[in-house]
Amino acid sequence: MHDNRSALMLEDEAMRVKFSLIVALSVMVIASNLLVMFVLCGAVPGWSRNSRYIMISLAVADLGVGLVVPLNLSASAELLVADKRSVFCEVAAFFNGVFFTSSIYSLTCISIERYLAVLLPLHYGSIVTSKTRTVLIAAAWLLPPLVLAPLCVPIGSVSVSFSSASLTCALDYASNVTYSIVLTFLVYFPCCSIITVANVQLWRAAHWHARNMRSRGMESRPHEDAASRVLLPVVLLFYALWSPCVFIMIYTGVTKIKVNQWIEFLSMWLPVFGSLLDCVVYFWINRSFRRRFQEIIAMLCKKALGREIGTGSRRRSFAGHMPSVCPGFPRTKVSGVGGAPGGTEGSKSCTDTNRNVVV
């Protein structure tokens, strides 16, 4: 009796830890991808329109991954008492698969676009046209529902079940081993091959260029060194996040043996963590993206400062120091304050260095 009570307490504690990790991860994925989409809505210096649109596709797919997490948690509350089939769980499993697959396809499109831009620059304009870009993005979003169409059939070729170990509604891979293996060959292995080949070639090109510059006694540009350091980890990160999930999918489908609950939990939620790391790898370590993000924050601070000055104006004592609203941005001179010519040195402001603030 005491042993049963201890086991129940440990199971409840594990459940609380899992819920906390899932909620925290979901919030971070949603917030980071919303910020990325907010920045990519405008032009980013150094980014072509093709790159920006494909990156937006990736951000939307990763945002969808974070948004379907509540579906799984709701299913957890409904189905935790028993592993039973429900329409709600099938809907959650379908959208899980669609957004995950679309995210992988978008990563593949990014690798293809970058490969053509760097290694075939003379032919890039003729190959990657607006039509080509549309086809790539459309394929990234239309292929996943087609691949996962069996889930929509009432008595489909594969069943869906709720896993109390991973707290997700997922395919029961053991119910149809053939479909599970075909799914991996349609999604994981083609994308994995393209991402690996493209990024390894890009890494070799960046590494060769940096070494060639050093052999001539010239310093390579910082972004070229960064490319040679980042591209290979991108491939390794992709393998680390997706390989455990695919391996367990094939293993459980073939052997019909359940793995340890924590191994299953981590393997199923590592791809969700990848939706957060995509923001770091593809966006936040990019200098142009960070600079554009700072410009947007500066613009918002400027508007906030303008409202603050407007509501408290009609007071001429503003000729002193302006309050610091945007720490970290360059100081500017405030000239013509209160209609007086000239200007005094103000505190940190969000304006451009050549712009004057007039009350």
| Phi and psi based region of residue 178 (left: phi greater than 0; alpha: psi -120 to 50; beta: remaining) | alpha
The pTM score is 0.75
- The span from the first CA to the last CA of the chain, in angstroms, equals 77
Name the range with the highest mean pLDDT among 4-13, 163-172, 265-274, 299-308: 265-274
User: Which residue in this structure is represented by tokens 């093709």?
Assistant: 50
Amino acid letter, 80: L
The pLDDT confidence band at residue 81, using thresholds 50, 70 and 90, is: very low
Close Cβ partners of 257 (under 8 Å, ≥ 6 residues apart):
251
Per-residue pLDDT, averaged over 43-68, amounts to: 88
Give the tens place of pLDDT for each residue, 107-135: 999 889 888 988 888 898 899 999 999 99
Query: pLDDT tens for residues 237-258?
Result: 888 888 898 888 888 878 888 8
Which whole number is the average pLDDT over 229-243? 78
